[in-house]
Amino acid sequence: MRNKQIYLDNSATTPVDKKVIKEMSRYYSEDYGNAGSMHDLGLISDNVLDSSRAKVAKILNADSEEIIFTGSGTESINLALKGLARKLKSKGNHIISTTIEHPAVLNTLKSLKKEGFEISLVPVEKNGIISSDKIKSAIKKETIIISTIYANNELGTIQPIREIGSIAKNKKIIFHTDACQAANSEELDVKKLNVDLMSLNGSKIYGPKGTGCLYKNNTIQLDPILDGGNQEFGLRSGTENIPGIVGFTKALELAQNDKKKYSKTLTELRDHLITGLMQIDRTILNGDKKKRLPNNVNITFLNIEGESILLKLNEYKIYASTGSACSSRSLTASHVLLAIGQSEKAAHGSIRFSLGKYTKKSDINKVLKVLPKIVKELREMSPVHMELKDLK
């Protein structure tokens, strides 16, 4: 009964698509040259690097020289925010972001604060959506950067990136978005979205871990954050990870080519899961019902610790999470759930189910079969008693 695993933690990481593995394999042991070497093997790698850059640029509606390959989404974010802030420090020191950003953004901003930058974190609405008007109101004469997440990694809420980008453009402020969670289902055309900098990674799109890229509008200059050689236009030193870059590129192509089918299938499964889970009493759906990723279900069960639910689900080989994998071992309540107005007690009872392209309806039905029993059992053991009315 419990032999088959059900993986519902795709927002943390995804399995690598077999098509991606096939594309990468030859660059490990056949065409393994350093792209900077002036011999045949090196030139093969250099040509593959150029080809991959052109393919990613086409997907983003950008120029090839605007694509910088990195080792992760986190590195991309650090390069974008630190590189730009340090370059523009003489023009201003104010950066605007939001209270529901990924730790990669929030901790980068904490670091910049120590360097003398002023950080404004705009609060979000209770449905987990950023108000573009609040972003506009936070702008000062000294504002040099606005950075907002495209799709939140915990709630799955999709933000009004195009509108925020338009505000930034009108005010001549550079706009960055963390699009790591959005690439499977959302538009990535940087011109339509009005973005100047966009961070992406491979592990969320069925590509290899340790890969990512930064789109950087070619009118923008950055200070590098790594010292070394002159790779990636002098902005990302280190021997290029050709197999990883090839894998990332293939994964991004597949994700964007399949996004309509992916969205339709997963929206149906997501809504089926939400409908079933909401039959359990004292249950809250976190985040907007409609403006959310097709694969995300973030739900709170009052009077239970989320970690206890995960351990019980794990016994059935059902794998989910309590929020961001980057902070999942922390005992503190999710900063995202606190930002949308949940109490700390309630936030500790939250679970994130993130579906993937290999999820089946039978997987969802299995969750709906075992989870009500788990909730009932854990509530009978819990000393805490909260009702929905207590949260109002």
- The set of catalytic residues is 326
Bridge partners, residue 216, by sequence: 197
323 dihedral zone (left: phi>0; alpha: psi -120 to 50; beta): left
Class of residue 150 by CB neighbours under 10 A (exposed 0-12, middle 13-18, buried 19+): buried
Question: CB under 8 Å, gap of 24 or more: what pairs does 372-380 form?
Answer: 372/279, 372/280, 374/309, 374/312, 374/313, 375/280, 375/301, 375/304, 375/309, 377/312, 378/304, 378/305, 378/308, 378/309, 378/312, 379/301, 379/303, 379/304
Helices (H), 16-39: 18-29
DSSP state, residue 299: E
CA distance 38 to 19: 30
CA 321 to chain centre: 15
Asked if 320 and 352 touch (Cβ cutoff 8 Å), the reply is: yes
Which token pair is 67?
Answer: 């694509």
CA distance 268 to 26: 38
Pick from 165, 237, 241: nearest CA to 201:
241
CA distance 70 to 64: 15
Asked if 9 and 320 touch (Cβ cutoff 8 Å), the reply is: yes
Give the CA angle between residues 137, 144, 132 to the nearest 5°.
30
Pick from 218, 199, 189: nearest CA to 65:
218
Pick from 380, 382, 375: nearest CA to 313:
375
CA distance 198 to 67: 10
